[in-house]
Amino acid sequence: MPDLSTNTGGIQSPNPFWLASAPPANSGRQIQRAFEAGWGGAVWKTLGVPIQNVSSRFAGHTIRGVQAAGFTNIELITDRPLETNLREITETKKLFPKNPIIVSLMVETEVEWREIIKKSIDAGADGLELNFGCPHGMCERGMGSAVGQEPAVNERITGWAVKYSTVPVLVKLTPNVGNIVPHGLAARRGGAHGVSLINTIKSIIGVDIDRFIPLPRVGNLSTNGGYCGAAVKPIALHMVAALAREKQFGLPISGIGGISNWRDAVEFILLGSSTVQVATEVMLRGYNIVEDMTDGLQEYMRTHGFDRIDQMVGKAIPAYSEWGHLDMNYETVAKIDADKCIGCQLCVAACHDGAHQCIHPQQDTRVPHVDEAECVGCNLCQIVCPVPDCITMTPVDNGHSPASWNEFANEGTPLRPKKGAH
């Protein structure tokens, strides 16, 4: 069987699946049960100066009444006493010596960082994760995303942590920035052994339209929260890949953001993550989801010829390019499988109202007609079709050699005629 063990910045793990720093990693008993279920590691819910959390704390984003696609969360760091957390870290390490415990930390001053780092390591921490991402409730004290949005501050505090730590230090980056690369490079300059990303995204999940109060409601007020869950995965993948392909970066990455199953994990690994962290899906379905994740990952590795996780890390990065390098002469058109088509006409509605008016209903058959002369290969019909593999995007041999926009603009390389410009 393929080897699932990983090394992220010096943190060894029996498999790449970690609990993220969040409610599922809030106590020793929780993390012990997670390890019993098969999780490789856990990032302990952020330690710091004890605080009081509010009630309510979460609000869900559902799409058409189905399972929540995401959460907004206004819960802060642990509100459990520091000494209680430290004692439970020690207890958990004794029970599960091979499973790494990474302790998430967020405090203000250098003295506080030095003290809490020593206490965490003495308790048995295998690594530290600096929480530079909390998007609410701690920023006014110069913590969380207030640090993550300022590369110079990120670098300075990372330097403090590395100076005082005897275990690997990961920096958890905030996605609430325009470009993640300068922030990853700041962590590197500070001496970090790796980064984890993304943290949650500043958001308002919705509004109570009867009370006129944003959600989640705390009395008669609310605040912005941190958005997480399946809906943030595309943003997370983009930021992970942006760092993974940055030649000056070169640090290990622990990927976070909307990982719900083994396929999601594979995508993060192929774009540069050596481990993946999960929270929201555990909140929805429990710790046992890791069984399907590990089984699915192993089977994927077996069928694709991977013996170790490190053979997969970043495998898709060479195919991630800038728009100007894409082949403008590559052409696909939609093909509808008449045997699979159920005649729902969703592709017709989508194409006529939202795309390029190339799919038309036919009076004598349930199967719509694709006008290939007008089809630009936008993929919308395939996306809305409810039948798997009914619509495929088929490459067309148009007689034109590959040519990018850069080649056209700089060298005059000819491009194929436009379509869909009627």
Give the Cα separation of 57 and 48 in Å (integer): 19
Asked if residue 382 has pLDDT above 80, the reply is: yes
User: What pLDDT, on the 0 to 100 scale, is given for residue 386?
Assistant: 97
**328 and 405 in contact (C-beta within 8 Å)?**
yes
The counts of H helices and E strands in the chain are 13, 20
Give the Cα separation of 129 and 173 in Å (integer): 10
User: What pLDDT, on the 0 to 100 scale, is given for residue 369?
Assistant: 97
pLDDT classification of 89: cutoffs 50, 70, 90:
very high
Burial tier of 317 (Cβ tally within 10 Å: 0-12, 13-18, 19+): middle
Tens of pLDDT, residue by residue over 176-198, are: 999 999 999 999 999 999 999 99
In percent, the amount of the chain with pLDDT more than 70 equals 93
Is the Cα dihedral 65, 69, 74, 79 positive or negative?
A: positive
Question: Residues 67-87: what's their mean pLDDT?
Answer: 84
- For tokens 């809305």, name the residue: 384
The helix/strand/coil state of 202 is strand
pLDDT classification of 218: cutoffs 50, 70, 90:
confident
331-362 b/e (C-beta count within 10 Å ≥ 16 → b): bbbbebeeeebeeeebbbebbeeebbebbeee
Asked if residue 223 has pLDDT above 90, the reply is: no
Least confident range of 4-18, 70-84, 223-237 = 70-84
Least confident range of 76-80, 253-257, 394-398 = 76-80
Residues catalogued as catalytic: 134
User: What pLDDT, on the 0 to 100 scale, is given for residue 144?
Assistant: 58
Asked if residue 262 has pLDDT above 70, the reply is: yes
Asked if residue 206 has pLDDT above 90, the reply is: no
Question: Residues 69-92: what's their mean pLDDT?
Answer: 88
pLDDT classification of 118: cutoffs 50, 70, 90:
very high
Amino acid at position 234, single letter: P
Question: Residues 348-360: what's their mean pLDDT?
Answer: 96
Least confident range of 42-46, 59-63, 254-258, 259-263 = 59-63
If you compute the radius of gyration of the chain from its CA atoms, what whole number of angstroms results? 24
In percent, the amount of the chain with pLDDT more than 90 equals 78
User: What pLDDT, on the 0 to 100 scale, is given for residue 12?
Assistant: 98
Query: Can you state the angle between helices 233-244 and 181-189, rounded to 10 degrees?
Result: 50
**Token pair recorded at residue 367:** 């199967």
In what helix (H) or strand (E) does residue 289 lie, and over which residues does it extend? Answer: helix 289-304
User: What pLDDT, on the 0 to 100 scale, is given for residue 372?
Assistant: 94
DSSP state of 419: -
Asked if residue 51 has pLDDT above 80, the reply is: no
Neighbouring CB atoms inside 10 A of 224's CB total 16
- For tokens 């819960």, name the residue: 75
What Å distances lie between residue 182 and 162, 248, 258, 320, CA to CA? Answer: 19, 10, 23, 19
**Token pair recorded at residue 104:** 């998430």
Angle at 288 between CA 282 and CA 294, to 5 degrees: 100
Tens of pLDDT, residue by residue over 138-170, are: 544 555 566 767 899 999 999 999 999 999 999
pLDDT averaged over the chain? Answer: 92
Distance, CA of 291 to chain centre = 20
Asked if residue 315 has pLDDT above 80, the reply is: yes
* Alpha helical stretches, state H, 124-232: 145-148, 151-164, 181-189
* CATH numbers and ranges of domains, the chain: 6-319 (3.20.20.70), 323-411 (3.30.70.20)
Give the Cα separation of 283 and 3 in Å (integer): 28
- What are the E-state strand segments in 270-325? 275-278
Asked if residue 131 has pLDDT above 70, the reply is: yes
Render 357-383 in DSSP notation, one character per residue: S-EEEETTEEEEEE-TTT-----HHHH
pTM of the model: 0.93
Tens of pLDDT, residue by residue over 265-305, are: 999 999 999 999 999 999 999 999 999 999 999 999 999 99
